Amino acid sequence: MEAPPDPQRISGKDFLAFVERTLEFSGADPVSAAYFRFPKRSVILSLPVDLDSGAVQVFRGFRTVHSIARGPAKGGVRYKPGLSLEEVETLAALMTVKCAVMDLPFGGAKGGVDVDPKQLSRGELERLTRRYTSELLDLIGPDKDVLAPDLGTDEQVMAWILDTYSENRGTTNAGVVTGKPVALGGSLGRKQASGRGAAYAAARVLPAYGQDLAGARVAVMGFGNLGRHAALAFHELGAKVVALSDSSTGLHAASGLDVPAVLAHKQKTGALQGFPAEHLPQEALLGLEAEVLLPAVDSKMLHAGNADQVRARFVLEGANAALSREADDLLKERGVVVIPDVLANAGGVTVSYFEWVQDASNFFWTEAEIRGALEAHMKRAVGSVLGEAYRLGVDLRTAAYVIAMQRINQATHLRGVYP
């Protein structure tokens, strides 16, 4: 069996292949397609940081703005070992698609640093974050490029970015980042948004294919922010979460896991290891009997070497580019319904949009209002993709990209070419 060259790397070729498939359906003109294939701007940063030892280490950072056709750029900041410009540029383009599919007034962006944040002290992490922000001062802002958490970063990192930006500007402008602490203008419900959005997407898709969500068996690979909140949301919606995994182990219970109890164990011990259930390797979750498989760790979790193991009827692509192009093709040939990342994990950017709006107006919503707005927005967007898939006779990923390309094409056409 073919194995991926590097299961942790996101391929721009895979992404562009998905784009190419949609051109015949979307009607996008060559100018719009050209704008889409190349980012508006990419910068590579040299980031010297004083370490606690007294030494200075230089880290490599990146920030890409893919598009501003539909509004300011929006995208996360990831701290990840081996992060490359190709990965950042691909994820920025994916964000452009995601925002367009969700009909949010943003273009895509992404950035980060080639670093393992677990190897840094809190002080080192803060100094790295502030240096990264200071290098981008003239390029970011609530009306230019809005940052957010991603792999390896959290609300504390966003707080440091906000403070660095504000101190240099002489005024606090909370809208430069989303996913920040509520005390600094963050939104209630933002932490849960990616996971809950995934569950809401599945709740809209499954009935369209004759499958009730209530009682459906769900296997979740990855127990980070998205995975844990998706599992809890599925549990609350009446699905049966039969498997969960993190880097330490996988858990399985055919009758369903007590998700709140698993969450409590994880919070107390820091790992799923030791929870009273059947333990198995994370990879084994691929072959479990389940209606829904949610891969939520990193890119290319499913590839040509393991896609044939999948027994679920639906794959909910929680991580960005969790499926390689080959895996996507193999699953489609077998009749597996893939709910693509641009829908499955769009809850995070949707509530980030709500946060950006709240910061601009200085008027904040209740958590119940956030959840209600997220559910309505997710189901409306998924409904549009389902309708387009039915109309064109294509899979959900192709339908989502068609909708995105049509909206981007319209914005690009209306704005014209400057100068």
Q: Specify the CATH architecture of the domain 191-344.
A: 3-Layer(aba) Sandwich (3.40)
DSSP string, 220-251: EE--SHHHHHHHHHHHHTT-EEEEEE-SS-EE
User: How many CB atoms sit inside 10 A of residue 379's CB?
Assistant: 15
Which is it for strands 240-245 and 250-252: parallel, antiparallel or unpaired? antiparallel
Domain ranges of the chain: 38-181, 191-344
CB-based contact 147:177 (threshold 8 Å): yes
**Secondary structure letter of residue 153 according to DSSP:** -
- Contact assessment for residue 106 and residue 73, using Cβ atoms and an 8 Å cutoff: yes
Average pLDDT over residues 221-247: 95
Confidence (pLDDT) at 10: 54
Average pLDDT over residues 213-239: 96
**Average pLDDT, integer, range 356-379:** 97
| Cβ density class 76-111: b for 16+ within 10 Å, e for less | bbbbbeebebebbbbbbbbbbbbbbbbbbebbbbbb
The phi and psi torsions of 321 (rounded to 5 degrees) equal: 55, 40
- The alpha carbon of 385 is separated from its chain's Cα centroid by a whole number of angstroms, namely 18
pLDDT (tens digit per residue) in 80-135: 999 999 999 999 999 999 999 999 999 999 999 999 999 999 999 999 999 999 99
Mean pLDDT on 363-384: 97
pLDDT of 15-66, one tens digit each?
A: 777 787 887 788 877 777 777 788 999 999 999 999 999 999 999 999 999 9
Structure token digits, residue 106: 């943003």
What is the Cα–Cα distance from 237 to 233, expressed in whole angstroms?
6
Distance CA 146, CA 153 (A): 15
Output the CA torsion 52→55→56→59 (10° steps).
-70
Instruction: With cut-offs at 50, 70 and 90, classify the pLDDT of residue 2.
Output: very low
Rounded percentage of the chain residues whose pLDDT exceeds 70: 97
pLDDT at 11: 58
How far apart, in whole angstroms, are the C-alpha atoms of residue 301 and residue 344? 15
* Residues 133 and 160: beta-carbon distance below 8 Å: yes
Of the candidates 329, 336, 280, 357, which has an alpha carbon nearest to the alpha carbon of residue 2? 329
Give first-to-last CA distance, the chain, whole Å: 51
The whole-angstrom separation of Cα 107 and Cα 411 is 11
Give the percent of the chain with pLDDT over 90: 87
Give the whole-angstrom CA distance, residue 161 versus residue 177: 8
Which SS3 state, helix, strand or coil, does residue 304 take?
A: coil
Lowest mean pLDDT among 18-32, 60-74, 253-267, 370-384: 18-32
* Per-residue CA distances from 398 to 183, 221, 282, 307, 340 (Å): 40, 24, 29, 19, 9
Distance (Å, whole) CA 75 – CA 298: 17
- Is a pLDDT exceeding 90 seen at residue 13? no
Cβ count near 6 (within 10 Å)? 11
Mean pLDDT of all residues in the chain? 93
User: What's the whole-number mean pLDDT along residues 345-357?
Assistant: 97
Q: CA-CA distance, 261 to 265, in Å (whole number)?
A: 6
- Reply yes or no on whether 110 is catalytic: yes
Contact 73, 107 (CB under 8 A): yes
- Give the least confident one: 191-195, 244-248, 252-256, 296-300: 296-300
What's the rounded mean pLDDT across residues 287-299?
93
Please report the pLDDT score of residue 411 as a whole number.
93
Average pLDDT over residues 243-249: 94
Q: How many residues does the chain have?
A: 419
| Residue 148 near residue 173, CB atoms below 8 Å | no
Q: Is 187 a residue whose pLDDT tops 50? A: yes
Tell me, rounded to whole angstroms, the distance of Cα 18 from its chain centroid: 17
Once rounded to an integer, what is the mean pLDDT over residues 299-303?
89
Instruction: State the DSSP H helix or E strand holding residue 109, giving kind and residue range, or none if neither.
Output: strand 107-114
Q: 38-181: which CATH number, 3.40.50.10860, 3.90.230.10, 3.30.590.10, 3.40.1390.20?
A: 3.40.50.10860
Q: Quick check: do 38-181 and 191-344 share a fold?
A: yes
Mean pLDDT over 260-272 rounds to 95
- What distance in Å separates the CA atoms of residue 299 and residue 67, rounded to the nearest whole number? 22
In 10 A of CB 43, how many CB atoms?
15
Query: Quick check: helix, strand or coil at residue 315?
Result: strand
**Backbone phi and psi for residue 49, each to the nearest 5 degrees, phi listed first:** -135, 135
Torsion of CA 73, 79, 81, 83, to 10 degrees: 10
pLDDT value at position 4? Answer: 37
- Cis bond before residue 419 (omega within 30° of 0): yes
The active-site residue, picked from 110, 180, 240, 266, is: 110
pLDDT 10s digits, 160-182 = 999 999 999 999 999 999 999 99
